[in-house]
Amino acid sequence: MSMKKYDGKPVGYDRTKITGGFWNTQQKLVRDVTIDAVYDRFDETGRFASLKGDWKEGMPFRPHIFWDSDITKWMEGVAYYLQKKRDNALEDKMDMLVERMEKLQTEDGYLNTYFTTVEPKARFTRRLDHELYCAGHLVEGALAYYEAVGKRKMLDIAIRYIDYIDRVFRIDHSAAFDTPGHQEIELALVKLYQFTGEDRYKKLAEYFIDNRGRSQKDRENNDRDLAAFQSHLPVREQKTAEGHSVRLLYQCCGMADLALLNQEDEMTRACETLFENIVKKRMHITGGVGTTYREESFTFDYHLPEVTTYNETCASIALAMFCRRMWLIDADRKYADYAELALYNTMLSGISLSGDKFFYENPLTASPKRNEFNQTRKEDIREHLPILERVKVFDCSCCPPNLIRTIGSIADYMYSISEDTVYVHCYMEGETKVKTKNQEIELCQKTNYPYDGKIELKTRSEGCYTIALRIPGWCQSYRLSINGEALNPSLEKGYAHLLHTWKTNDCISLELDMKVQLIEANPRVPNLCGRVAVVRGPLVYCAEGIDNPDFSIRDVRVENPSDFQISMEEICQRAMPVLNGPTIIRKDFQELYRFYRQDKEQTNLKLIPYFAWANRGVTEMNVWFLKN
């Protein structure tokens, strides 16, 4: 039986131990390398020192308006790893930062490094300066740390600050604006409400959501385009994805959270409308969103440039977060399909295979000569181009700690429950304990997904309940069995529902046919007409010049996806499936232009997963190819 609307409940990362496979490798890399690498960069750049509150004019490392969020996102990510394995050295760093927060916090509860040390008289006077955004990340980090190790001091600090914010904004209306310039606190407030049961936190989230696009104070305190900050209309009336992509998607997360809590159809319709506009008209094939660096924003329908697109790493993380909330409202496979697209492609492109370097932007093609020429121009006439080599830290370093926390809690995307149905959304190897309406269930999943489509799910407990397995939208055929007995259930919104009286060690075997396929874009995307992308399962593939040095990777013509051979190869000591297959190119010629000739030859094209590009030096890269 299908899930009733609004009946979904999450199964948190803390209920699962990732035991092997793709995400175990990724989590180990983050635990062994990324956490310390980001800590060191944040330490070197003065972020952690800013919490001491002793900065004075003329000193180095002037605090920035959003440094607090960099710190607390790193702390949240660390907490997810500490929940799995305690580490004294990491806990000491966490506790040191908490001690600094406690000393910096003012008597009334306010806590912000920039506005305490640099502009103490400007508190809550400028809407676009990230105060409430930073407060939201403080709440998320504090909840994660308490739930991981049971230490409450950071949570008490966060609650004091939120109580102050509630008084200033919802009760006294004494701030110079009504709603956040950068959304995020809304979803954090829902988490705090669910943890504490205190209704005022839910009311504050509703206050921020409901007043967005309605407030005269916000209009007067917004010196830039209102649509860039989703303040042009009330949220329930917003029909298209406008403005800063991360802001919008965090707003959508808060909207979906409240729609689920309040079972509100109008809010749900607004979420669905925005979601459909994004994935059908404003999203790259890699799950990348936000097509211009100007305000890091969405632009207009079918505008999907390849070279200059923005596709911020954090935006794809936010898209996946939105999808996860939507499948709790309505268990439709499209939400998990798009979450995977964003996570496996754009998000993971944001971190190097070595774990210590990062992309902020994730283009669909790379032209080193264009970047080199651009750097020779005076700064005021340069075009904005994404960098082609990952770096260890950015001035705006929101993405590195966001990657830490998302990969650390990736098991959030595995399951949800509804009554006595366990929904399996994203396939990962791990052991999970799930509590449904009537029973405790233990499940063990083994898989090498997304590198192949074989999934084995064993039950570790007895009882009568339903397991609903997602059959991805890209999968054209599959095989499903219980204890070797083949099944062919009908699908309900893309999920195969298996109602069974389960015994210990019953085995569900699901084999998704993971063929190489070609994808074409809507003809309204002018730059992609007559071109195709190569995908296999949730992975998008790309060509790099380093693998294809003898021809232009923009001149290749792809014809038959079944001609590609799949093999496991190492890239920077990481084994992954690469594709090799015949392609057609034009024979080289010297003229700039000539009369058209049917003068072509066949050669081999090598493709690698998009997330692995730019790990072997600066080189050309391309996702979209000509169709032969």
Same domain, 100 and 176: yes
Flag whether 327 is in a domain: no
Tokens 């005076």 belong to 378
- Any domain includes 499: yes
Q: Is residue 582 part of a domain?
A: yes
126 within domain boundaries: yes
Provide the 8-state DSSP code for 345.
I
Q: Looking at the structure, tell me whether residues 433 and 469 fall in a common domain.
A: yes
| Same domain (yes/no): 488, 431 | yes
Q: What's the longest Cα–Cα distance across the chain? A: 78
pLDDT digits (tens, 9 = 90+) for 321-363: 999 999 999 999 999 999 999 999 999 999 999 999 999 999 9
Burial of residue 9 (CB within 10 Å: 0-12, 13-18, 19+) is: middle
Digit-coded pLDDT (tens) for 261-289:
999 999 999 999 999 999 999 999 999 99
Choose one of 482, 497, 512: the last residue of a domain. Answer: 512
DSSP secondary structure letter of residue 530? T
One-letter amino acid at 458 equals: K
**Spatial CB neighbours of 570, under 8 Å, sequence gap ≥ 6:** 576
Instruction: Please tell me whether residues 473 and 585 are part of one structural domain.
Output: no
Q: Which pair of tokens denotes residue 160? A: 């004091």
Q: Is residue 425 part of a domain?
A: yes
Q: Which domain holds residue 489?
A: 415-512
| pLDDT of 5 | 87
Cβ neighbours for 263, distance < 8 A, ≥ 6 positions apart: 5, 6
- The reported pLDDT for the residue numbered 223 is 76
Among 190, 223, 256, the domain-final residue is 223
51 shares its domain with 200: yes
Distance CA 495, CA 334 (A): 10
pLDDT at 518 over 70: yes
Residue 432 shares a structural domain with residue 464: yes
Strands, E assignment, 370-439:
415-418, 421-424, 430-435
Residue 366: enclosing H or E segment and its boundaries?
Answer: strand 365-366
Half-sphere exposure at residue 322, Cβ-oriented, CA atoms within 13 angstroms? 32
What does the DSSP assignment read for 466-512?
EEEEE--TT-S-EEEEETTEEE-PPEETTEEEEEEEE-TT-EEEEEE
Q: What are phi and psi of 495, to 5 degrees?
A: -115, 135
Residue 261: is it exposed, middle or buried by C-beta count within 10 angstroms (0-12/13-18/19+)?
middle
Tokens 């003012």 found at: 106
Query: How far from 426 is each of 29, 120, 348, 374, CA to CA, in Å?
Result: 21, 46, 16, 41
Is residue 39 domain-resident? no
pLDDT tens across 421-463, in order?
999 999 999 999 999 988 999 999 999 999 999 999 999 999 9
Count of domains forming the chain: 3
Q: How far apart are CA 139 and CA 73, in angstroms?
A: 10
pLDDT in tens, 73-101: 999 999 999 999 999 999 999 999 999 99
Please state, in angstroms and as integers, the Cα–Cα distance from residue 453 to each residue in 380, 472, 511, 514, following that order. Answer: 50, 10, 5, 6
Calpha distance 533→518 (Å, rounded): 6
Q: In what order do the strands lie in the sheet with 463-470?
A: 9-10, 415-418, 421-424, 463-470, 495-502, 491-492
- Where b means 16+ CB within 10 Å and e means fewer, 215-241 reads beebeebbeeeebbbbbbbebbebebb
Residues 185 and 62 in one domain: yes
pLDDT digits (tens, 9 = 90+) for 488-512: 999 999 999 999 999 999 999 999 9
pLDDT of residue 314: 98
Q: Is the dihedral of CA 540, 545, 546, 550 positive or negative?
A: positive
- Token pair 């996570």 is found at 343
Q: Do 478 and 547 belong together in one domain?
A: no
Domain annotation covers residue 588: yes
The answer on 549 and 437 residing in a single domain is no
* Same-domain status, 487 and 524: no
pLDDT band at 393 (very low <50, low <70, confident <90, very high): confident
What confidence tier does 1 reach under pLDDT thresholds 50, 70, 90?
Answer: low
Helix axes 399-408, 67-84, angle to 10 degrees: 20
Tell me if 307 is assigned to some domain. no
Name the domain boundary from 173, 193, 223.
Answer: 223
Q: What is the pLDDT of residue 2?
A: 66
Q: Determine the pLDDT at residue 172.
A: 98
CATH at 477: 2.60.420
500 with 525, same domain? no
Q: What is the mean pLDDT of the chain?
A: 97
φ, ψ at 439 (rounded to 5°): -160, 160
- Please tell me the distance from the alpha carbon of residue 3 to that of residue 331, in angstroms, as a whole number: 7
pTM over cut 0.95: yes
Answer yes or no: do 490 and 528 share one domain.
no
Q: Which of 258, 237, 291, 328 is nearest to 3 (CA)?
A: 328
